[in-house]
Amino acid sequence: MKIIIDTDPGQDDALTILLALASPEIELLGVTTVAGNVPLAQTTENALKTLDLAGRPDIPVHAGADRPLLRPGVTATHVHGRTGFEGVDLPPPGRPATPGHAVDFIIRTVMDNPPGAITLCTIGPLTNIALALAREPRLRERIGRIVMMGCAFSEVGNITPAAEFNVYVDPHAAEMVFASGVPIVVFPLDVTHQLHTSAARLERIAAIPNRIGPVVAAWLRFEKRFEATKYGTDGGPLHDPNTVVWLLKPELYRGRQVNVQIETGSPLTMGMSVVDWWGVGTAPPNAVFMREVDVEGVYDLVVERLSRF
């Protein structure tokens, strides 16, 4: 599977990249960065650090949008720390970002491959993807699918009472993506909030006998402290890695085809994902929306893949 990961690293974004690199079923063509968890310069540096950690300086990293389409930027430094990589002190990256804008890289890569060949794994705000679709409308028929961490239904919001963070940061971009007609698979908070990074699960990761396992465990211990306190759980949710885990073992998840629309007009519910789970509306389905997950199966796969480094 040929994929591009569009991301705003973030500790669990880095885990997503590492899982892709550890999986021979996946060919990671490049990483594109966007402002989100931390500002763009920092997300780009963190992506480069992740690839250095994995020993993969051959993977291009293209910096993308430094702000949302229409709204002021929002970060999640209260969760991820100032750098987005708090928990482990990694050395500076050994190279700069690859020349060229992320949007140009996405367009060129999709258009240079056969229709349907490229999967976009989007684990941050959707600004780069919306810009690419606007710049090159033919992408709508060329992208194989978008596998997305974002949205919420029964779990409502994690950055406002109504909205999930990735969608809230750039709701207008999310609105464009869901209206594009590209096949979309969504991993919302309804899934990620079942995947607690418990002390026992982090110990399994920390015990992996290579450098990667202890780094990932330390990252997640830091990142998930805030959410564990907020939700009163043993560990916080595991968000972004579900995109790559699903590519590897889709049988670990269950969902259904639904219509998803994004609220962009109301200050109270800005960024809310309106999910027609029961089919009561008239709009046709535009996404597969996941709701159920085999929790232990996900963590077993994470440990097995990280052990390959």
124 within a domain of the structure (yes/no): yes
Q: What is the torsional sign of CA 288, 65, 12, 14?
A: positive
Answer for the pair 166, 126: CB distance below 8 angstroms, yes or no: yes
216 within a domain of the structure (yes/no): no
Residue 266: which CATH number?
3.90.245.10
Can you tell me the mean pLDDT for 270-298?
98
- The verdict on whether omega for the bond into residue 10 sits within 30 degrees of 0, i.e. cis, is yes
pLDDT tens digits for range 146-162: 999 999 999 999 999 99
213 within a domain of the structure (yes/no): no
52 within a domain of the structure (yes/no): yes
- What is the reported pTM? 0.97
Distances 149 to 64, 123, 209, 229 between C-alpha atoms, Å: 18, 5, 29, 22
Predicted pLDDT of residue 139? 98
**φ/ψ of residue 95, rounded to 5:** -160, 160
223 within a domain of the structure (yes/no): no
Total domains present in the chain: 1
* Residue at 252: amino acid letter: L
Q: What is the extent of the structural domain holding 31?
A: 2-195+237-307
Positions marked catalytic: 239
pLDDT tens digits for range 66-96: 999 999 999 999 999 999 999 998 999 999 9
225 within a domain of the structure (yes/no): no
210 within a domain of the structure (yes/no): no
Predicted pLDDT of residue 308? 98
pLDDT tens digits for range 206-251: 999 999 999 999 999 999 888 899 899 999 999 999 999 999 999 9
Phi-psi region of 118 (alpha: psi -120 to 50; beta: other; left: phi over 0): beta
Predicted pLDDT of residue 31? 99
Which residue is listed with tokens 């002390």? 199
